[in-house]
């Protein structure tokens, strides 16, 4: 399934904008309705995530269905560990009709602000 998605995206003109940590943080501040979307696994999410992020694992077979429940008209700020999975997830979301999707270019490893960690 995911190979089909990636193959379809490679041939399309849909390209999610890559933005840096500062721009990502600015959009979080200036767009109060924006959704911060972490597409890593739940285990990765638990080790530390951007505050107020929603976790939907891109590799989960229900990814499309879960993402489909999000508001397509608000900005979606998507990230993963390095920016690769989130780039592909963002392109997929644009193809699904989301209007404003932005990818954290270097992912959470390039994030310059504190992360939230889940208590054990």
Catalytic (active-site) positions: 80
Instruction: Specify the residue for token string 């849909």.
Output: 14
Nearest-angstrom CA–CA distance, 9 and 25: 27
In DSSP notation, 23-44 reads HHHHHHHH-TT-EEEE-S-HHH
Structure tokens, 30: 């200036």
């Amino acid at each position: 399934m995911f190979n089909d998605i990636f193959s379809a995206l490679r041939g399309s003109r849909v390209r999610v904008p890559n933005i840096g940590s500062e721009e990502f943080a600015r959009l979080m501040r200036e767009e109060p309705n924006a959704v911060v979307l972490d597409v890593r696994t739940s285990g990765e999410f638990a080790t530390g995530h951007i505050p107020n992020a929603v976790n939907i694992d891109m590799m989960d077979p229900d990814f499309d269905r879960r993402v489909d429940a999000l508001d397509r008209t608000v900005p979606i700020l998507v990230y993963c560990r390095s920016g690769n999975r989130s780039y592909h997830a963002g392109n997929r979301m644009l193809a699904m009709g989301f209007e404003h999707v932005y990818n954290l270019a270097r992912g959470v490893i390039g994030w310059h602000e504190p992360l939230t960690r889940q208590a054990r």
